[in-house]
Amino acid sequence: MGNFSFIKTDIDGVVIIEPKLFGDSRGYFMETYNETAFKEGGIEAIFIQDNQSKSSKGVLRGLHFQKTHSQAKLVRVISGEVFDVAVDLRTGSKTYGMWTSVVLSAKNKKQFFIPKHFAHGFLVLSDEAEFCYKCDDFYHPEDEGGLMWNDSAIGIDWPIAEGMKILLSDKDQKHPLLKDL
């Protein structure tokens, strides 16, 4: 696929993308997105909105989704490191309620494609992290949904270091369990 490697995960449609770096003594260059290459890699989403957030160590954002205006996302980290998670919420999917993850960092340059109808979240592992993501639909605040980050029925194995304090928004502390969606 030219400047990208597309790595399938255990959940159909969720893909880890490794960009090719072109470096020399001055630094490096890489493509982060190329519509033609992504289509060849099986990713058909057309992105219409870019977002960026900055968070400190222990911040856990998620697990978020849009109820009727579901969004596919292409996520990456431009500084720091996060543990990124996708949970399958596709009705009738053989992997419904299952999760997959990847560590995204400024160092490894990996990206994570999360299809529509997934819950998404991440935990910041470094002192700070800047997180960027493309969406294939606009954000609709009235359509927000969430899933409890530590739902034992899902069983996400968050890499919480000893002594790490998890920092959640008020909203993220109140999400329902999978069985209550």
CA distances from 154 to 32, 38, 73, 83, 162 (A): 31, 29, 21, 16, 22
* Amino acid, single-letter form, for residue 62: G
* Model confidence band, residue 2 (pLDDT cutoffs 50, 70, 90): confident
The pLDDT value given to residue 1: 58
Paired with 67 in beta bridges are none
Preceding omega of 167 cis (within 30 degrees of 0): no
Residue 166: pLDDT over 90: yes
| CATH code of the region 46-180 | 2.60.120.10
Helical H runs in the chain?
35-40
Q: Which residues are catalytic?
A: 64, 133
The pLDDT value given to residue 111: 98
Region of residue 85 (phi > 0: left; psi between -120 and 50: alpha; otherwise: beta): beta
* Residues 6-40 pLDDT 10s: 999 999 999 999 999 999 999 999 999 999 999 99
What whole-number distance in Å separates Cα of residue 156 and Cα of residue 87? 9
What whole-number distance in Å separates Cα of residue 34 and Cα of residue 172? 33
Give this prediction's pTM. Answer: 0.96
* Residues 120-151 pLDDT 10s: 999 999 999 999 999 999 999 999 999 999 99
Three-class DSSP category at 179: helix
DSSP E strand boundaries for 48-163:
49-56, 60-66, 73-79, 81-88, 99-105, 111-114, 118-124, 128-135, 144-146
- State the DSSP code for 10: S
- State the DSSP code for 90: -
Cβ contacts of 87 within 8 Å, gap of 6 or more: 63, 97, 98, 99, 118, 119, 120, 147, 154, 156, 178
* Residues 84-111 pLDDT 10s: 999 999 999 999 999 999 999 999 999 9
